[in-house]
A and B are shown apart, each in its own frame.
Chain A
Amino acid sequence: MSVALKSWRANEGPKHLIMMFWIAVNVFLFWRTFMLYFSGAQYYYLHKMLGLGLCISRASASVLNFNCSLVLLPMCRSLLTFLRGSQRVMGRCVRRLLDKSKTFHVACGVTICVFSVVHVSAHLVNMVSFSVRYSEDFPALNVAQYRGQDPRILIISTVPGVTGVLLVLVLFLMFTASSYCIRVSSYEIFWYTHNLFIVFYIILMLHVAGGALKYQSNVEAHPPGCTHNNLSSWTNHKAAREKGAEFSGAPQTVCQEEAHFQPHFPQTWLWVSAPLCLYCAEWLYRFIRSSTAPVTIVSVVSHPCDVVELRMLMSGFKPRPGQYILLNCPSVSSFENHPFTLTTCPTGKNETFGVHLRVLGDWTLRFSQLLLQKSNSSEILPMMQQRRYPTCGGTIDQII
């Protein structure tokens, strides 16, 4: 029993620890933003107008910021390969954690979907509040143009509204195509919809630039709840009543100036830009590397049961046993990359590396047809790009 516990702790413990830490950060972000909008002085008037919807929508937005930036990191595969392979830094524990990158990506993705639902619901309530509780005292705070304006018009006529709807649609497409069933039956649907993430991020950058929610920038000069000579007597009465109920006998402060409101700096740009730049840089690196180094096919062998063995040569390519490569053949399909585990690695005597592929789907069928028919002619076979990644299941590092 104790051996099983010790080995569980060594094998699975770090993964669960990271998960706990990630959940804790999410909870902390949600709570901190919620309390900021609930009791922050600069949001006093906005909170009075919108109520709980404001706090929930902003809190879920901060969780969304965090997860939208994290979701890209497990997909920087060359960086992960480099980290995983570097001798100095990595022990078995960290290598096992790096193998779980796809699971982490899925976890962040699901969190994004769940909190998007929360965020959208809260903002729909905010739209209704903006319309119903239109403020004549603080016109700068309003998003609606008049009291009782149809909330649907508010969605269509504001930048955050329109971009929000587009974001939900893109997320809906990406999410429905990512189920296990779809990935197994038609991977192309998953792949092409998932590449809409670029559109998602571009629209996200625009979504936060709308500036619908404003904070009060002169809290010292105009403490929230102070009485103002020009305000309607109803507001003064209400403020007086509230102040009176809370602090009986406390002197009411008089406002020195009008409340000034200012939209936020879009925080999302700070969160998202670094991982996005990293991902784009990595994609560029992969693209350049794969297009400048040509791959030559040395031999094609046809085995029984629809298996084709492919031997290739590429200069400067040093894979290790257990890794897999992604093959892309533009003559078959320009955008599809298919993974194959390496069955032969280059050694000192023989520089070629090889894969065995089984002809099962349409890509492999077309590919094998091209290979086997062209092997009779003397012309050079089509150039292929390849990329190399560690496999998640091939190298098993378990601490027993």
Chain B
Amino acid sequence: MGKIEWAMWANEQALAAGLIYATGGIVGVAGQFRGWQFAAFGIAAGVFVCLLEYPRSKRGKGTSVERTGQYCFTVCVKAFGPLTRNYYVRAFLHAALCVPGGFMLATVLGCVCLGIASLIYLSAAIHGEHWEPILPRTEPPKRVGNSIKEPPQNPPPRPPPELRRKKADKLETAAYDNPMSVTINE
């Protein structure tokens, strides 16, 4: 097993867990079940987790694929600096957010899923990973080389026409048909 990027998996899990948490919260509040205040907290926490986890981190090695429209989220998350960069902070934040969900039936699943995501983030942090924003590359536009000002004077070297002409006795083994005749005088 090579170097695995745990953070990427934790990110997917946390996003899914946030959605589950928010959905459970909506169900709890809508049904006005006992303990619906925990469900209301669940909605807020789920939405917050989704917003935090939406921007993907840049991969350590290889191409990073960003989620659709994640640039504005990247800018917001980047603004918090070391708080969002460090995965230990995220792990403990998720662990803290998931605890109130355990007190209400509808949000129990969201609580457990967010807890698992928090553990994977802890593992990512122990492996020394951190969050890097994916920013659009601002390279200077490619300059055209000098040689375009001096086009070549001569055509590229080719063998003389006698050799270029396809030999008639080799027609059966020829792998292609010439669209135009290659004999000199036609």
B112 within 8 A of A: yes
If A120-B109, A128-B105, A151-B105 touch, whether A176 touches B16 (CB-CB below 8 Å) is yes
Shortest distance between the CB of A51 and any CB in chain B (Å) = 13
Determine if A188 and B8 form an interchain contact, defined as CB atoms under 8 angstroms apart.
no
B105 near A182: Cβ-Cβ < 8 Å: no
Q: What is the bound-complex CA distance between A128 and B4, given in angstroms? A: 42
Which residues of B lie under 8 Å from residue A185 when comparing CB positions?
5, 8, 59, 62
Tell me if A152 is interfacial: C-beta within 8 Å of chain B: yes
The verdict on B48 contacting chain A, using a C-beta distance below 8 Å, is no
Question: Which B residues lie within 8 Å of A184 (CB)?
Answer: 65
B15 → A minimal CB distance (Å): 8
**Interface of A, helix, strand, loop or mixed by DSSP:** helix
Once the chains are docked, how many angstroms separate the CA of A184 from the CA of B56? 14
Q: Which of B59, B105, B108, B116 has the most CB of A within 10 A?
A: B105
Interface flag for A284 (CB, 8 Å)? no
Q: Most chain-B CB neighbours within 10 Å: which of A124, A155, A333, A363?
A: A124
Asked whether any CB of chain A lies closer than 8 Å to the CB of B1, the reply is yes
Question: Is there contact, CB below 8 Å, between B8 and A181?
Answer: yes
Partner of A169, one of B1, B3, B116: B116
> Is B106's beta carbon under 8 Å from chain A?
yes
Name the one of B2, B16, B108 contacting A188, with C-beta atoms under 8 angstroms. B2
Q: How far is the CA of A172 from the CA of B1 in the complex (A)?
A: 23
The interface bits of chain B over 1-28 (1 if a CB of A lies within 8 angstroms of the residue's CB, else 0) are 1111110110011001100000000010
B12 touches A179 (CB 8 A): yes
Q: By the criterion CB–CB under 8 Å, are A186 and B5 in contact?
A: yes
- A127 near B: Cβ within 8 Å? yes
Let me know if B59 and A172 touch, CB within 8 A: no
A-contacting residues, B76-116, CB 8 Å: 105-106, 108-109, 112-113, 116
Q: Closest CB of chain B to A152's CB: distance in Å? A: 6
B106: A residues at CB distance < 8 A: 124
The answer for the CA separation of A368 and B113 in the assembled complex, in Å, is 40
Q: Is A269 an interface residue (CB 8 A)?
A: no
Q: Which 3 residue pairs of A and B lie closest in terms of their CB atoms, listed nearest first?
A: A362-B2, A176-B13, A176-B12
Q: Tell me if A121 is interfacial: C-beta within 8 Å of chain B.
A: yes
| A143-157 interface code vs B (CB 8 A; 1 in, 0 out) | 000000001100100
17 A-B pairs besides A165-B112, A172-B113, A186-B5 with CB distance below 8 A are: A121-B27, A124-B106, A152-B105, A152-B108, A169-B112, A169-B116, A172-B116, A173-B116, A176-B9, A181-B8, A181-B56, A184-B65, A185-B5, A188-B2, A189-B4, A333-B1, A361-B2
A130 to chain B, nearest CB (A): 12
B63 → chain A, closest Cβ, in Å?
9
Q: Does A182 lie within 8 Å of B12, measured CB to CB?
A: yes
